[in-house]
Amino acid sequence: MTTNPHDSDLRDERLERLLAVARRLSASADLEAVLLVVIDALRDLLHSERATVFELDAATQELVAHTAHGLARGELRVRLSQGLVGACARSRAIVSVNEVARDGRFLAATDAATGFVTRSAMAIPLLDEAGELIGVAQVLNRREGLYDARDEALAAGLAAHAAIALKRAHLIADRVARAALERELETARAIQQAAQPRRSLILADYAFAARTIPALSCGGDVCDYGPLIRGRIAGADAPAEAIDGAFFLVADATGHGVGPALQATATRAMLRTALRLTEDLATAVEIVNRQLVEDAPSGRFVTAWFGRLDSTRHELHGICAGQAPILIYRAAQHRFETLGADAIPLGVLDEGFGPLVPWTVRLHPGDAVITASDGYFEAQARDGEIFGEERVQQCLLDAFARGLSPDAAAAALDDQTLAFAAADQTEDDRTVVIVRRAP
């Protein structure tokens, strides 16, 4: 058999160029840069007019191209059931067609949309080390001659390097994105934590507990409290003897993560602002709701309990905007009464939200009012059973019978909830506020 030296030289040249491309791919971890190297290498090594890399969108079962010669901006999507690239993806094998007009699989609509005229095409599957499809590369219109077996062999070699480079670039991009998200979550958590009360609430004849534990780095729950003088928020320099009450808030924004955390924190800020403008609790809540209706995205709302303690009259006034039940502990009978919601959640609608009429609970010695979020009531055991209101009440009854302080009672409730769930954390944020008059 006679060997053509020109063919040998051509093979050596293409091999050298393939190795050079492989080195470039291994040197870059930037996804866009990798894609550009791949399409340029495909076009040049296979003597084609254009090249495209389609990446698999498993969720939509589509092949998506963001980087292609002739694709100025936007993206090109092809269903797995369509076109030569779809046939390549389904078969996991190279599809080479030198006269696309005669092939029924050719998707002529793409040419119609782009204005490009395709004569010949080769689609090459991009498979990872496990043989899973991550995309399809395609070259169009060989400049001279026809796509042949040597082109297919070269394309297969390039595709193997390209697939590994793409997989690595995606993994690195995902890792960078996760790190950025973690930094954002940490920033949001720091902002949320900074918004928590910074000083203990000291009020003669009363003891309090207020804690919130997010299910994620930052949560959709928030609790707040602070001293009042004649219904208005007391300044940091207010004399202790002038303080005659306190305000409380438990708010639970729908969802978890940064968005709900910001919404819950904004609710807290709005309430504090409103209480600086008015001593009327109902008016303050209506102001908060009106602002949330204007600001909150559709479908986002906040359930909340607002409380205002008048320590001179020993009365706690409250409004439950979708946040229920409210537990009222009667020390003399060692039992609980409950109150339900008396308004819809905040941020749903303005017209029809009010006028609100706060309820009033008179606190006798040893009595307490407890508000807890869904993270306690809906905590699930491994068999799906929920912790429930009855267990919450029994835990608190046991704590009060043992003479525990509100802080210790809240800690006991946390411990029992986590023991029931057999987990280090519940699926939902846990927030509890306990207001108790001294026995």
User: Do the Cβ atoms of 138 and 121 come closer than 8 Å?
Assistant: yes
AA identity, residue 291: Q
What's the pLDDT at 233?
A: 86
What's the pLDDT at 218?
A: 62
- 172, 205: one domain: no
Of 24, 65, 16, 15, which is closest to residue 164 (Cα–Cα)?
24
Q: Per the domain annotation, does 276 fall within a domain? A: yes
AA identity, residue 35: L
Separation between Cα atoms, residue 248 and residue 318, nearest integer Å = 9
What pLDDT, in 10s, does the model give residues 167-180?
Answer: 776 666 667 667 66
Q: Per the domain annotation, does 422 fall within a domain? A: yes
**Least reliable range by pLDDT among 89-98, 140-149, 216-225, 285-294:** 216-225
User: Do the Cβ atoms of 376 and 417 come closer than 8 Å?
Assistant: yes
Q: Per the domain annotation, does 427 fall within a domain? A: yes
Q: Per the domain annotation, does 186 fall within a domain? A: no
- 427, 376: one domain: yes
Average pLDDT, the chain: 84
The 3-class SS string of the chain reads CCCCHHHHHHHHHHHHHHHHHHHHHHHCCCHHHHHHHHHHHHHHHCCEEEEEEEEEECCCCEEEEEEECCCCCCCEEEECCCHHHHHHHHHCCCEEECCHHHCCCCCHHHHHHHCCCCCCEEEEEEECCCCCEEEEEEEEEECCCCCCHHHHHHHHHHHHHHHHHHHHHHHHHHHHHHHHHHHHHHHHHHHHHHCCCCCCCCECCEEEEEEEECCCCCCCEEEEEEEEECCEECCCCCCHHHCCEEEEEEEEECCCCHHHHHHHHHHHHHHHHHHHHCCCHHHHHHHHHHHHHHHCCCCCCEEEEEEEEECCCCEEEEEEEECCCEEEEECCCCEEEEECCCECCECCCCCCCCCCCCEEEECCCCCEEEEECHHHHCCECCCCCECHHHHHHHHHHHHHHCCCCHHHHHHHHHHHHHHHHCCCCCCCCEEEEEEEECC
- 128, 220: one domain: no
Choose one of 149, 176, 203: the last residue of a domain.
176
CATH code for the domain of 82: 3.30.450.40
Residue-range definition of the domain harbouring residue 433: 195-437
Calculate mean pLDDT across residues 402-421.
96
What's the pLDDT at 378?
A: 94
What's the pLDDT at 181?
A: 62
Of 210, 326, 192, 319, which is closest to residue 260 (Cα–Cα)?
192
Calculate mean pLDDT across residues 55-72.
82
- 256, 116: one domain: no
Separation between Cα atoms, residue 169 and residue 32, nearest integer Å = 9
Choose one of 176, 211, 245: the last residue of a domain.
176
- 125, 205: one domain: no
Q: Per the domain annotation, does 341 fall within a domain? A: yes
Is the pLDDT at 154 greater than 50? The verdict is: yes
- 143, 208: one domain: no
Q: Per the domain annotation, does 121 fall within a domain? A: yes
AA identity, residue 215: A
Total-model pTM? 0.62
Is the pLDDT at 3 greater than 50? The verdict is: no
- 199, 168: one domain: no
- 13, 162: one domain: yes
Of 196, 64, 210, which is closest to residue 138 (Cα–Cα)?
64
pLDDT tier at 194, thresholds 50, 70, 90 = low
CATH code for the domain of 242: 3.60.40.10
- 216, 276: one domain: yes
- 208, 69: one domain: no
What's the pLDDT at 2?
A: 46
What's the pLDDT at 18?
A: 52
The total domain count for the chain is 2
Choose one of 176, 203, 222: the last residue of a domain.
176
Calculate mean pLDDT across residues 401-430.
94
- 154, 301: one domain: no
What's the pLDDT at 43?
A: 86
pLDDT tier at 376, thresholds 50, 70, 90 = very high
pLDDT tier at 66, thresholds 50, 70, 90 = confident
User: Do the Cβ atoms of 366 and 439 come closer than 8 Å?
Assistant: yes
Of 438, 432, 437, which is closest to residue 415 (Cα–Cα)?
432
Query: Which tokens sit at 77?
Result: 């999507």
AA identity, residue 134: I
- 107, 141: one domain: yes
Most confident of 159-173, 294-308, 404-418: 404-418
Q: Per the domain annotation, does 307 fall within a domain? A: yes
Calculate mean pLDDT across residues 134-151.
89
Length of the chain: 439
Q: Per the domain annotation, does 384 fall within a domain? A: yes
What pLDDT, in 10s, does the model give residues 252-266?
Answer: 888 766 777 778 888
Separation between Cα atoms, residue 51 and residue 68, nearest integer Å = 6
